[in-house]
Structures are given as structure tokens and as C-alpha cells.
A = this chain, B = another copy of it.
């Protein structure tokens, strides 16, 4: 927007709120207050901002602003917003402002036509990437028993929920997929650990025993080591051993 237009809006706003021109000085004082500057940055941007990013943006003159000061300003911003419709929330990517969940019914009316449903193929593929990362498309297909379409992968990539972590050193060098910070942000989470646990139907040793008993197999079968036996908690992004470091994201 051109600055001239902004000035007009400003005047309109002043008029609408019945405020006089004397406001300007008070406004300058506002800009000094760190919690307001942080609020301005979070309202204007789309992405969460980390303490480090805030420090860089706010301390342009290198006047020795400290993290502790930013943290204190965040706390006071959070406190000030308690009487309003927005709230300060920390997610994986940093701090952001979001509209309190109790207003969702109103907002849902505003956005009635939004596309938001995810196909089962997409959700199941995403689940496998979350809990088995780094994982190849072939490995996903093996569990699902069905091909994963290119458009499913592309949509997950386009949403920036999933990224290529590297390539597996096997013939064909298939891409290894993992989750992004953006996925956690979009789910309002700080870490992968906050995602639901993969249901433990029966662990595989038990399963083997149960199978042997139920199916009347004599002699307990040697438990088959399965790739699934590895930890099934959502994996932290750091755990990408086996990923070719030269082909990082």
C-alpha cells in the first residue's frame, strides 16, 4: 500500500475512533515499548518468530538487547492480551499470535468454503512419515499395501509438512522423507513428542507368542525381527542417521 493511502486510512481511523491528532506522540512512545514491537512483528508476519529472530529484528542497532529482556517482553505481551481475542503461543517454530480457540465457531462461518479435508491416503502417508522417518516411499507403500501416488507426496511437500531429508544408499537412491517444523506449527505443537503415540496393538514379541498360542503352532516361533520393532515414537528430526549428509535438505 502506498504511504499516501496509509495516511488517509490513519486519518479515517482517527476520525472513526473520535481521536484527535494529539495521538501521534503517544504512538511514538508505544513504538519504544518492546512488547508492542513484538506484537507488531507477529501480527504482520505469517511465520512464528524465535527468540533469536526477534533479537535480530529488534536489536538492529546492536544496542545490547538481551534474550532475557525479550522473554520478559513476551511475558508482558501475553499478559496484556488476556483481555483480547488473541493469545501468544509457543510452537516448534517460535512464538506466534493466534485467535483463541473459543472464537473458532465464528471464524468457521467466515471461512465456510475453505478446502480443509485431507484424504485418507494423505493422512496415512503422513502418519508413516511422522513415525518412521526417515522413510522412503517404498517403505510407506509396504505398510499401506498400496502405491503412494505422486500427487499425494507432492501435496504433502507443497504444504511444507514433509521434506526430503536425503537419499537412501540403495539402488535407485530413493528419497528419504521426514517432517518439517511447519507441520508442528500447523498442529500447534512444540515437539514431535506431543503427537499421539502410535497405538501399540501388541508388541511384536507378544504378537508372535499370541499367534503361536492361538493358531496352535507347536514350539514358539523364533521371533522375526521386524523393521517396525524400532522405536515407534514420532522421531525427532535430528535422528536422521543413515541419511547422506551431502544431500541434506
Identify the A interface with B (CB < 8 A): 6, 9-10, 12-14, 16-18, 26-28, 30-31, 36-37, 39-41, 43-47, 53, 56-58, 60, 75, 78-80, 82-91, 97-104, 106-107, 109-111, 113-115, 120-121, 124, 138, 141-142, 144-147, 149-151, 155, 158-160, 187-190, 194
Contact = CB atoms under 8 A, between A and B. Distances in A.
A12 B91 contact: yes
A27 B100 contact: yes
A88 B16 contact: yes
A35 to B, nearest CB: 8
A151 B27 CA distance: 25
Contact of A87 (B13, B86, B100): B13
A27 B86 CA distance: 11
Contact of A113 (B36, B85, B103, B138): B138
Nearest to A102: B31
A19 to B, nearest CB: 8
Contacts of A75: 17-18
- List the 3 shortest-distance A-B pairs measured between CB atoms, nearest first: A40-B103, A39-B85, A40-B85
Contacts of A86: 39-40, 43
A43 B99 contact: yes
A9 B91 contact: yes
A37 B106 contact: yes
B46 A151 contact: yes
A36 B89 contact: no
A150 B42 CA distance: 13
A78 B39 CA distance: 16
Contact of A101 (B10, B85, B103, B110): B10
B121 A158 contact: yes
Contacts of A103: 31, 36-37, 40-41, 44
Nearest to A160: B121
B158 A120 contact: yes
